[in-house]
Amino acid sequence: MTNPEHTGEGAAVSGRDAITGAAGVVSEEQRARRGEREGGQRSGRRGGRRRGEPTRVPDADFRSYHGRPVLNQIVWEARDIGGYLFLGGLAGASSVLAAGAEVTGRPGLARPLKYTALAAISGSTAALIHDLGRPERFLNMLRVFKPTSPMSVGSWLLMGYGPLAGAAAVTAATGWFPRTGTAATIGAGALGPLVATYTAPLICDTAVPSWHEGYREMPFVFASSAAAAAGGVGLLASPTAQSGPARRVAVGGALTEVAVSSFMEHRMGLVGEPYGQGRAGALTRAAKALTLGGAAGAVLGRRSRALSALSGAALVAGSALTRLGVFQAGVQSAADPKYTVVPQRQRLEERQHSEERA
Amino acid sequence: MAADGQPSRKGFFTDTSVCIGCKACEVACKEWNQVPEDGLDFLASSFDNSGRLSADTWRHVAFIEQRQPLGHQDPGVGRPEGGAGDAPGPVDLGMPSFDLPGQRTGEDGGSGGGDFRWLMSSDVCKHCTSAACLDVCPTGALFRTEFDTVVVQEDICNGCGYCVPACPYGVIDRREVDGRAWKCTLCYDRLGDGLEPACAKACPTDSIQFGDLDELRERAERRVEDLQEAGVSSARLYGEDPGNGVDGAGAFFLLLDEPEVYGLPPDPVVTTRDLPSMWRHAGAAAVVLLAGAAAAFAGRRS
Ligand code: SF4
Ligand code: SF4
């Protein structure tokens, strides 16, 4: 009640519903019109929207309780959980690339990626712990194993992956136990893809409209964004002679990320809107610009160490902004009752229509 | 008691058509459960001062004013002074209206001008059959009791906050000062001693009814029929259907308007219903990542 950012109060109070619920009483006639407009919207949108144009969804007519959000607001801090998503992805994909570099004899590429993986997964775990209401109770995460809770699955995954990433990095730094080091590198590389993707079900498995509705594409967005970031680190930290695969992964990841996230935002319709608006919109646009710029630089700067490094840095930053943009879009969609009420009302009405017809 | 000695499923039926907005339930809940103060605010939204369900508000009374008649009921506002003949004039009960005080001319007669209804509803955790909060809780702090209710164990919750955005009704929340998640327990302690929950006990109009869920459902059916017959065509049940998105709520409602007017989601679905598909998509993405990386290394050596 005290923190408007958490209660969502004020933020969502807009339009005709802001005054009282009374203003929201819709007459039969008005309701008929609303039905019409929704119909028009559906056919209108199929006409296709040129890229870059803002998603134009007609002002949705809906009712709410004094304009207040239906959902309780996300209590996570953007820095902590956005960072947790980004660093987890960076770690996982770095381990995959490190394993590839190890197997194909590119130590100059493998070593920095192993360090990155350890640092990133430590940072990711620290961010998660920092965000807990009771950080000292972090180990309660390991009281149970619950497949219905992606956070539980993720915690166990980190317990398996963390030590492998650690062993890979430490053996690379010290040169001790090289065979154990190789085994750990490959083990971490095998778990890496899961570490990079489990965070997508984690956020999608909520009632937050702009997260839940994207559950099909989100893992692909996260995986490709992670690949772009890890590839970026490869470009940043390894000699050009060994960075070829990192470059290819970076460019492939970057292009896939931009394509899949744009597709996702478009397919979600109304609840895709927050990805183009306000802070989430700014973050998402910046992320795409950095990612595409980084990819272009990675291709053009093939022979230049400096340009490669710059492109790598842009890709890493783009990946971080992607996660922050996704996070912020979720926050915005939970704060506005429109995104909860309108799609559910539509679903309900469609169901009633089909029942009537049947 | 069911045949197997297990207590039968307990729940609430909140009949909002008789709610008078006294907030006795809010107070009784706070008293019994020792829930901290949650801001003594004027929200400028009717008589509502708690706003929403939260970590520190486990019963929340919503107030909605509408320019609509309530069935055949005569709200007694907007009528000309003095009745026909010698009949006594209507008594001003101080009901809110849409006109400024003293502005009521009554010229538009009984039609339209006097249309007013005041909706009140005491909201609470739905104790869902398929509860998203419980599904996503990574510590097992949230659990299902022998009464088929959903309760947080405060000595286990580590405040990860996952349950908060998972709940499709916006019920459970994290208490800022204490870092843990809190919500209605359906008075688990009182149930264990054979008592009814504090809110139901305190409710002076029996708007909040506690009991065996099966019996409550039957009672609610009858009540809707009665109201419909009496001309309250907008009466409807919300959440009682075991076929709904949460497989039936343990706390359901009789509403007089669409759920979203009361701040309730019109068609909530437990998010974990899609989780198997989410895991499949994540698995596919992981495979694609692995394959993409392998292809990048399989290319020419450079
Ligand atoms: S209403 Fe929300 S908090 Fe209550 S049981 Fe259902 S999901 Fe959990
Ligand atoms: S905040 Fe507590 S009750 Fe909620 S999901 Fe996390 S551990 Fe479970």
Q: Whose CA is nearest to atom 2 of ligand 2?
A: B157
CB A260 within 8 A of CB A288: no
Range of weakest confidence among A257-271, B140-154, B288-302: B288-302
Q: Is the pLDDT of residue A219 over 70?
A: yes
Helix (H) and strand (E) counts for chain A? 13, 0
Report the pLDDT value the prediction gives residue B116, as an integer from 0 to 100. 76
pLDDT, averaged across chain B:
87
Cβ-count burial A63-94 (b if 16+ within 10 Å, e if not): bbbbbbbbbbbbbbebebbbbbbbbbbbbbbb
- Decide whether any atom of ligand 1 lies within 6 Å of the B133 Cβ: yes
Q: pLDDT by residue (tens digit) across A169-210? A: 999 999 999 999 999 999 999 999 999 999 999 999 999 999
E strand or H helix at A194, and its extent? helix A178-197
CB A93 within 8 A of CB A196: yes
Q: Is the dihedral of CA A322, A242, B285, B167 positive or negative?
A: negative
What residues form DSSP beta bridges with B58?
A: none
Between positions 183 and 222 of B, the ones with CB within 8 A of A are none
Q: Note whether A137 contacts B292, CB cutoff 8 Å.
A: no
Q: Whose CA is nearest to atom 5 of ligand 1?
A: B127
A332-352: average pLDDT: 95
* Least Cα separation, residue A249 to chain B (angstroms): 6
Q: Note whether B293 contacts A100, CB cutoff 8 Å.
A: yes
3-state helix, strand, coil in chain B (%, to 5): 25, 15, 55
Among the listed residues B197, B152, B149, the one whose alpha carbon sits nearest the alpha carbon of residue B174: B152
Q: What are phi and psi of B174, to 5 degrees?
A: -95, 130
Q: Where are the domains of chain B?
A: 10-262
Q: Is the pLDDT of residue B250 over 60?
A: yes
Report the pLDDT value the prediction gives residue B7, as an integer from 0 to 100. 84
Ligand 1 center to A131 CA (angstroms): 22
Between these two residues, A39 and A93, which has the higher pLDDT value?
A93
Report the pLDDT value the prediction gives residue A52, as an integer from 0 to 100. 39
Range of weakest confidence among A55-69, A74-88, B158-172: A55-69
Q: How far apart are CA A259 and CA A265, in angstroms?
A: 10
Residue with tokens 């893809």: A193
Q: Is B119 helix (H, G, I), strand (E, B) or coil?
A: strand
Q: Is B119 on the interface with A (CB under 8 A)?
A: yes
Q: Where are the domains of chain A?
A: 78-336
Q: Is the pLDDT of residue A33 over 90?
A: no
Q: How far apart are CA A256 and CA A335, in angstroms?
A: 30
Among the listed residues A236, A222, A151, A213, the one whose alpha carbon sits nearest the alpha carbon of residue A192: A222
Q: How far apart are CA A342 and CA A337, in angstroms?
A: 8
Chain center to CA of A218: 6
CB B173 within 8 A of CB B54: yes
Architecture of the domain whose range is B10-262: 2-Layer Sandwich (3.30)
Between these two residues, B68 and A169, which has the higher pLDDT value?
A169
A65-79: average pLDDT: 96
Q: Is B42 on the interface with A (CB under 8 A)?
A: no
CB B263 within 8 A of CB B169: no
Percent of chain A scored above 90 by pLDDT? 80
Q: Note whether A62 contacts B172, CB cutoff 8 Å.
A: no
A94-111: average pLDDT: 96
DSSP, res B85: T
Chain center to CA of A124: 14
CB neighbourhood size of A37 (10 A): 15
Between these two residues, B112 and B274, which has the higher pLDDT value?
B274
Q: Is the pLDDT of residue B112 over 50?
A: no
B102-109: average pLDDT: 50
Report the pLDDT value the prediction gives residue B263, as an integer from 0 to 100. 96
Q: Is the pLDDT of residue A10 over 50?
A: no
Strands B251-255 and B10-15: parallel
Report the pLDDT value the prediction gives residue B67, as an integer from 0 to 100. 81
- Decide whether any atom of ligand 2 lies within 6 Å of the B216 Cβ: no
CB neighbourhood size of A26 (10 A): 17
Query: Nearest CB to A20: which of B45, B54, B137?
Result: B45
A77-105: average pLDDT: 97
Q: Note whether A133 contacts B159, CB cutoff 8 Å.
A: yes
How large is the greatest C-alpha to C-alpha distance in chain B, in angstroms?
105
Percent of chain B scored above 70 by pLDDT? 82
**Chain A residues touching B282 at Cβ < 8 A:** 194, 197-198, 200-201, 219
| Per-position DSSP letters for A104-161, written without gaps between them | TT-HHHHHHHHHHHHHHHHHHHHHHHHHSSSGGGGGGGGS---TT-HHHHHHHHHHHH
Q: pLDDT by residue (tens digit) across B13-65? A: 999 999 999 999 999 999 999 999 887 888 888 889 899 999 999 999 999 98
Q: How far apart are CA A189 and CA B294, in angstroms?
A: 11
Record the tokens describing residue B131, joined without a space: 């509860």
B105-130: average pLDDT: 75
Cβ-count burial B203-226 (b if 16+ within 10 Å, e if not): beeebbbbbbbeebbeebeebbee
Q: Tell me the CA distances in angstroms from A191 to A96, A123, A146, A184, A196, one per residue in order.
A: 8, 18, 19, 11, 9
Q: How far apart are CA B302 and CA B299, in angstroms?
A: 8
Q: Note whether B292 contacts A253, CB cutoff 8 Å.
A: yes
Architecture of the domain whose range is A78-336: Up-down Bundle (1.20)
Report the pLDDT value the prediction gives residue B167, as an integer from 0 to 100. 98
pLDDT, averaged across chain A:
86
Give the ipTM of the model, two decimals please.
Answer: 0.87
Q: Note whether B260 contacts A6, CB cutoff 8 Å.
A: no
B119-142: average pLDDT: 97
Record the tokens describing residue B129, joined without a space: 């059959």
- Decide whether any atom of ligand 2 lies within 6 Å of the B142 Cβ: yes
Most confident of A5-9, A111-115, B90-94, B96-100: A111-115
Report the pLDDT value the prediction gives residue B231, as an integer from 0 to 100. 86
Dihedral angle of Cα B102, B108, B113, B115, to the nearest 10 degrees: 140
Q: How far apart are CA B26 and CA A341, in angstroms?
A: 26
Q: Is B26 on the interface with A (CB under 8 A)?
A: no
* Least Cα separation, residue A322 to chain B (angstroms): 17
- What is the number of the ligand closest to the CA of B172? 1
Between these two residues, A81 and A21, which has the higher pLDDT value?
A81
Query: Nearest CB to B296: which of A150, A194, A248?
Result: A248
Report the pLDDT value the prediction gives residue A61, as an integer from 0 to 100. 84
Between these two residues, B178 and A35, which has the higher pLDDT value?
B178
